[in-house]
Amino acid sequence: MRRRDFLAGFGGLVASSPSSARAQRATRLPIIGFMGGATPSAWAPWTAAFVRRLEELGWVDGKTVKIEYRWAEGSEERYAEIGAEFVKLDASVLVAVGGDSAKKATSTIPIVVALMSDPVGTGLVSSLARPGANITGMSIQSTDLAGKRIELLREAVSPLRRFAILALVDYRGTMLDVGAVHAAGKSFGIEVVTLPIRRASDIEPTFASLDAQLQAMYVPPNLLVNTNRILINRLAQRHRLPTMHGFREYVDSGGLMSYGPNTPNLFRRAAEYVDKILRGAKPDDLPVEQPTKFDLVVNLKVAKAIGLEFSPSFLARADEVIE
């Protein structure tokens, strides 16, 4: 065998050796698995806020990091599949909402949850200060806001005697909201009716069977509702029902009002968690944070469409009025 043929063959062996493979993996860009719960268009403001903050921190898609997007379009089943796909892809960190599906998919890959309804109550984390395991992120403590949202509904719809809560009954976060809303309603002497849904095809029949005595609707956020929020708000307007939501994006989509944190800011904070993890931090060392500012947003166009008039004092308290 000629010497140069031998060297070429030996070089090929070296290139395919375990140490060489490890070196190739070491130079691979870190992969961020972005678990989109709805559609790209529905999440566009949130995705943009996340990516923009990552870039500010030095993580540019395609240059210093690779962001892989998958979209569940409101399907919990698909959302679970996305988590499994990112495990096979060997993602460096997952970004999710809710957290249940991501947690079921992996106990080793770090998970940053941009918004969790009640992470301690749902068992996602051990405590806010020491999350435990591989999950951290932002908690919106939706159950803690139930009383405030009902107070706002009482001011807008007076006297409020009976309202409904649209409940995705297979989602633990929503069912915790249901319990908190029922408890708050009882304390105010208001009857709360639970309207159970499990899939998108349940939404229109649920509205078709509404009790004429219902005066408003409380809509807890989740993947299914987020994806179908335009439909839900259109049906609510048809029934002239004032709606209360947790995020202003639902008001942009035809809801009457919302009281909750700024969602793009939550995704910006999620990017900061991802930055720390990519630089070596462990999820358990990163406490779960809670928003400190909550905005009241009202939609005057919707109010006019359903024949509701806000008092001047109520509008004066709003952080944003959509006209």
Assess whether 180 and 234 both reside in one domain: yes
Assess whether 53 and 174 both reside in one domain: no
Q: Tell which residue, 135, 33, 42, has the closest CA to residue 88.
A: 33
Strand 162-168 to 111-116 pairing: unpaired
173 band by pLDDT with thresholds 50, 70 and 90: confident
Assess whether 167 and 91 both reside in one domain: no
Assess whether 82 and 179 both reside in one domain: no
pLDDT digits (tens, 9 = 90+) for 84-117: 999 999 999 999 998 888 999 999 999 999 999 8
Assess whether 122 and 194 both reside in one domain: no
| pLDDT at residue 7 greater than cutoff 70 | no
Contact criterion met (CB below 8 Å) for 51 and 99: no
Q: How many CA atoms lie within 13 A of 145 on its CB side?
A: 27
User: What is the CATH number for 188?
Assistant: 3.40.50.2300
pLDDT score recorded for residue 117: 83
CA distance 28 to 132: 28
Assess whether 314 and 197 both reside in one domain: yes
Q: In sequence order, which residues have a C-beta less than 8 Å from that of residue 143 and are 6 or more positions away?
A: 117, 118, 121, 176, 177, 179, 180
CA distance 124 to 313: 40
Assess whether 103 and 176 both reside in one domain: no
Q: In the beta sheet, which residues pair with residue 65? A: 61
Contact criterion met (CB below 8 Å) for 255 and 302: yes
pLDDT score recorded for residue 38: 87
pLDDT score recorded for residue 256: 98
pLDDT score recorded for residue 16: 42
pLDDT digits (tens, 9 = 90+) for 112-132: 999 998 889 888 999 999 998
Rounded average pLDDT over 204-225: 94
CA distance 308 to 323: 14
Assess whether 106 and 147 both reside in one domain: no
Contact criterion met (CB below 8 Å) for 255 and 200: no
Hey, what are 26's tokens? 């070491």
| pLDDT at residue 301 greater than cutoff 50 | yes
Instruction: Number of helices (H) and strands (E) in the chain: give both, helices first.
Output: 14, 12
Domain count, the chain: 2
Mean pLDDT of the chain: 90
Q: Which domain holds residue 118?
A: 3-140+264-285
From edge to edge, which strands make up the β-sheet containing 217-219? 191-197, 162-168, 217-219, 243-245, 257-260, 295-299, 320-322
Assess whether 131 and 153 both reside in one domain: no
Q: How far is CA 147 from the centre of its chain?
A: 21
Assess whether 254 and 170 both reside in one domain: yes
| pLDDT at residue 21 greater than cutoff 70 | no
Assess whether 195 and 130 both reside in one domain: no
Assess whether 123 and 156 both reside in one domain: no
